[in-house]
Each structure stands twice: as structure tokens, then as C-alpha cells.
């Protein structure tokens, strides 16, 4: 059985740090790209993830399998009222068990709760095709309007509409973010037996 929950304790942040380091090494090995060179803010996220993902505009979810941290996903609310899904990673031994689906469920629920109109992410065609299949299965499609910020060939943005779109006038202002304690916990409904 696994549980998805919002990172909040010291132990959670230690587990998050380990998972984010695993994520970086996995991306380097699988794609041949150094994600820290491509996204310099990732270097500081690796040192103190709580400073980046326990904020008014961001949250990090952990998936634990039998008390072992096996997956991570972060959400950051953007000024346009969208939510970026970031740092999605499931350790190889836990793949194929629905962990990624539950992490995406928690991230989408959190973004919807925050009033976001769209969830989006960046990924890479080719080496990340298995991840792209997971995102498609969870309602994401390639965006026709967002451009990738990643500079490498094959970068793609995928997005998914969330709930009702807010009126255009509200999109000109900052997102309607509540304090980080209002992010859904994610664990209570996110249990799965396999």
C-alpha cells in the first residue's frame, strides 16, 4: 500500500531531498542532459527544498510505499493562474503500481483547490516517452499555446484544463493563493492497495 501526502515535517523534507537527488541522477542517465545546468534553480531546490516548495505558491507531494519514500511531485502556481507540475519522479522499483497516477491526482487536486485553471508541465520527447504516456493517461495533451522553456531538442509542454476557467479579468491579477497550509494534504484519499 502507498500513501501520497504533502511534505511538511523534517523527515518529509529529508526524504524529498533524497528523491530530488535521485531525480537529477535519473534524468542525467536517461536523457544525457544535466537538469541542474538546464534549470539552475534546481541546484538550490536540492539544498533546501522546503524553501521552494513549502511556500504560499508551491507544494511538494511525497508518495510512500510501506513507509519508504518512492515518489515526488511539486506544483507551483504561476502568475497567469496556471499551475506548473514539476520534479515528477517515481523510483524505478515502484513504477507500474499507480504511484505516478496518485501523485498527479494530488497535484491536480491541489491546483484545482487553489483556483488554477490549467496544469502544465515540460518534458522531453524520446527519452521521456514513458512519462509522456503517463501524463496523457492522466488527461494532459501537448499544448498548442505554451512554448517550452527547456532549450533542448524534443522539449514539449503538456497541459490539462482544470475545473472552470476563471473570468479573464481575474487572470490579470496574481493567482488567488491562500497560505501554504491550505494546500490539500493529499494522503487521506490517496491510498492504494496493490
Domain boundaries, the chain: 2-181
Find the angle CA(95)-CA(22)-CA(159) to the nearest 5 degrees.
60
Cα separation of 133 and 140, whole Å?
A: 9
- Note the pLDDT tens digit of each residue in 135-157: 999 999 999 887 877 667 778 99
Mark out the alpha helices in the chain (DSSP H runs): 10-31, 35-38, 41-47, 49-53, 99-113, 129-137, 168-171
Region of residue 139 (phi > 0: left; psi between -120 and 50: alpha; otherwise: beta):
left
Q: What is the DSSP string of 3-21?
A: EEEE--SHHHHHHHHHHHH
Question: What CATH fold (topology level) applies to the domain 2-181?
Answer: Aminopeptidase (3.40.630)
- Note the pLDDT tens digit of each residue in 14-64: 999 999 999 999 988 988 888 898 888 899 999 999 999 999 899 999 999
Average pLDDT over residues 107-117: 94
Predicted model pTM: 0.82
C-alpha cell at 117: 485553471
C-alpha cell at 58: 508551491
Amino acid at each position: 500500500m502507498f500513501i501520497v501526502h504533502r511534505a511538511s515535517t523534517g523527515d518529509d523534507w529529508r526524504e524529498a531531498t533524497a528523491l530530488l537527488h535521485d531525480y537529477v541522477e535519473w534524468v542525467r542517465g536517461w536523457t544525457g542532459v544535466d537538469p541542474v545546468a538546464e534549470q539552475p534553480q534546481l541546484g538550490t531546490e536540492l539544498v533546501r527544498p522546503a524553501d521552494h516548495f513549502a511556500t504560499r505558491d508551491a507544494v511538494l507531494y511525497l508518495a510512500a510505499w510501506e513507509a519508504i519514500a518512492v515518489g515526488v511531485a511539486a506544483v507551483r502556481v504561476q502568475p497567469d493562474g496556471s499551475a506548473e507540475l514539476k520534479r515528477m519522479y517515481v523510483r524505478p522499483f515502484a513504477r507500474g503500481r499507480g504511484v505516478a497516477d496518485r501523485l498527479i491526482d494530488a497535484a491536480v487536486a491541489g491546483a484545482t483547490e487553489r483556483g488554477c485553471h490549467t496544469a502544465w508541465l515540460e518534458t522531453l520527447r524520446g527519452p521521456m516517452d514513458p512519462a509522456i504516456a503517463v501524463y496523457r493517461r492522466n488527461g494532459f495533451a501537448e499544448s498548442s499555446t505554451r512554448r517550452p522553456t527547456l532549450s533542448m531538442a524534443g522539449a514539449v509542454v503538456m497541459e490539462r484544463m482544470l475545473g472552470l476557467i476563471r473570468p479573464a479579468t481575474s487572470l490579470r491579477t496574481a493567482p488567488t493563493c491562500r497560505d501554504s497550509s491550505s494546500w490539500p494534504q493529499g494522503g487521506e484519499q490517496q491510498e492504494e492497495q496493490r
